[in-house]
Structure formats: C-alpha cells, structure tokens
Amino acid sequence: MNKEDMITIDGPAGSGKSTLAKNLAVALGWNYLDTGALYRAVALWALENGYAAGDGDKVGEMAEKLELRFVNLSGENRVFISDRDVTGLIRTAEISSLSSSLSAYPKVRASLVSIQRRLGQYGALVAEGRDMGTVIFPWAKLKFFLSADPATRARRRHHQMIMEGQPSNLENVLADILARDRNDSLRQASPLKADPMAVVIDSTNLSLFEVETIMIGQAQKIFGSNFSLN
C-alpha cells in the first residue's frame, strides 16, 4: 500500500458518511478515520474550558497542543483527548452545533490537518468528513461525495439519536441540519463541495445497502480486489 491507496467520503451533515465509512473500512479491511469526531473533540474541549462559537481563533491556537487520537477497543473506534475517552460525550446536539461553528475558522482547520495527514500517511484508509477529497487527501485514488435532501437527512439523524437513547426533536434536528449546511457551504476555509473527480451519490431514495453496493463496486474497479460486504 502507498498513501494514494485510500478512499475519501465527503458530504453534508446527516448524509450517512460515518456509517458508510465504517462499513466500507470493515469490508476492505482498512482503517477508518472519523474526522468529524476530531472536530467534535475540539468543540468539547472548548466548551469545557469556557470558549464559545465566536472564539475560533483562540480555540485553533490551543487545539494545536491537544493530543487527539483514536484507539481501537474491542473493534470500536474510540476518541481520546490525551488519556481521556470522550467518545460518549461528543455526539450531542450542542457539540454538533459548536463543532460546525468552530470548523469555519481557518486556525481550527489548520490545527487538525497535520494529525489527519499523519493518520493517512500509509494509505489503506477510509476517511470521512467535509474536505477529505478536496483539501486533506487530494491524492486519494477514490473519492465519494454523498448527498441527500435536508428532510431525509434530518429524519435519519433523528432516528439515529433516538436509537442511541438521546433526546431528539425532528424539527430541531432539521433546523440544525440547515444551519450546518449554511456554515459548511459558505465558510471561507475549505467550504463543502464535491471534488471534480468524486463519485457523487444522492442517497435520498437509496437504502444504506444500495449505497454500500455502489461504493464497493467502485472500489473493486479502482483497487482491483474482490471486496465484499459483510
């Protein structure tokens, strides 16, 4: 493997990137990079240390000093800040909103570029986020961009939160989705957009399995291996 042997999956909030990236990584036997979790971890640290959405430059300066890492525990990707497992603390609506606001700051994004590229330096990686194929890993051999209409994404996120035992209101989830879409698309630093070479998949009317099947088919064409879904 070399560093070009990787897959990037970008797309807006609620498009299914995390679930699909995890499943694809398992099917390929590759590592999985959840970049959204890194931003959420920074947001959690900022919130706990008294920073707000408008303090992005200060947070960016401090984020460079944070020890952010993934640890695989019993097959699960856990997120750590130093020796503290924060996996269960970063999936709330408050952290989602704050991470979206902070990610618009160039200093915050720059602070996380090096750790993301370090994790991907050996290839064999499925990386998902907002700018994986356009900014972080532009050399990736296979790039996807996932999309779905906001109402569909809101319903999926609402269902996911309910299944995880989190309180959720569909109208609030949709409002958050729309706000994050605006933040992601209008920010000056790495705005959300599909790479010209990306395979664009609109999953509004597709099942998870159908999207996975498309991805596996593309991976087989590019990497020449007989991958299969589990």
pLDDT tens per residue across span 140-169: 999 999 999 999 999 998 998 898 888 899
Contact status, residue 219 vs residue 225, Cβ threshold 8 Å = yes
For the chain, give every domain's residue range: 6-218
Q: Are strands 6-10 and 142-147 parallel, antiparallel or unpaired?
A: parallel
Report the alpha-carbon distance of residue 193 to residue 134 in Å, rounded. Answer: 8
Question: What is the pLDDT averaged over residues 84-95?
Answer: 91
Radius of gyration for the alpha carbons in the chain, expressed in angstroms and rounded: 17
**Residue 201 gets which letter from DSSP?**
E
Order of strands across the sheet with 84-85? 68-73, 76-81, 84-85
- Residue 180's nearest CA partner among 212, 157, 211, 205 is 157
Model pLDDT for residues 25-68, shown as the tens digit of each residue: 888 888 888 888 999 999 999 999 999 999 999 999 988 888 88
Q: What interhelical angle do 170-186 and 93-102 show, nearest 10? A: 10
Contact status, residue 126 vs residue 33, Cβ threshold 8 Å = yes
Please report the sign of the dihedral spanned by the C-alpha atoms of residue 168, residue 169, residue 174, residue 180.
negative
Residue 113 has pLDDT above 90, yes or no: no
Which of the residue ranges 42-46, 89-93, 144-148, 190-194 would you say has the lowest mean pLDDT? 190-194
Torsion of CA 29, 31, 35, 36, to 10 degrees: 50
Residue 148 bridge partners (DSSP): none
Q: Three-state DSSP class for 73?
A: strand
Choosing among 3.40.50.300, 3.30.365.10, 1.10.490.10, 2.60.40.10, the CATH entry for 6-218 is 3.40.50.300
Alpha helices, DSSP H, located in the chain: 17-28, 35-48, 56-63, 93-102, 106-119, 150-163, 170-186, 208-223
Residue 172 has pLDDT above 60, yes or no: yes
Question: Whole-model pTM?
Answer: 0.79
